[in-house]
Amino acid sequence: MEFLGISPVELIVILVILFLVLGPQDLVKLGGTLGRALRNLRESGTWRSIQDARRQLRDLPENLAREAGLEEVKKLRSELKNEIKETQAKLNDLDHQIVAWTRQPDSLSQKKAKEENPEKQKTDGEY
């Protein structure tokens, strides 16, 4: 886990160096000063405006979709998909019925083919 591009080991090394350079009393003062500065930053109007802008940017896609009526379009799309699936199923069923009605038994179709082309049978037998 990194914080500002600094690994935990590097952070510990920096804190040890600060402790050695500043000493324990100055390090406590530095911590208090940093804490007050961060608190002042969080309570400032600038920080609030930055947070509001971040929140608005995060919610922007949802707001734009809501304003554009994208939810209604998605609902219509799903309804159309369902209708297309139902129609496709009906067409497939109709196709199967037509194929079943027009299909002749194999023995009848072969017999009919022999009656229509007796010459073809002779040529087939010659091979």
Write the pLDDT tens digit of every residue in 73-127: 788 889 999 999 999 999 999 888 888 887 755 555 566 666 666 665 555 555 4
Mean pLDDT of 12-24: 85
DSSP string for 23-61:
HHHHHHHHHHHHHHHHHHHHHSHHHHHHHHHHHHHHHHH
Range scoring the smallest mean pLDDT among 18-27, 34-43, 62-71? 62-71
pLDDT at 79: 92
Q: What is the pTM of this model?
A: 0.36
pLDDT at 127: 46
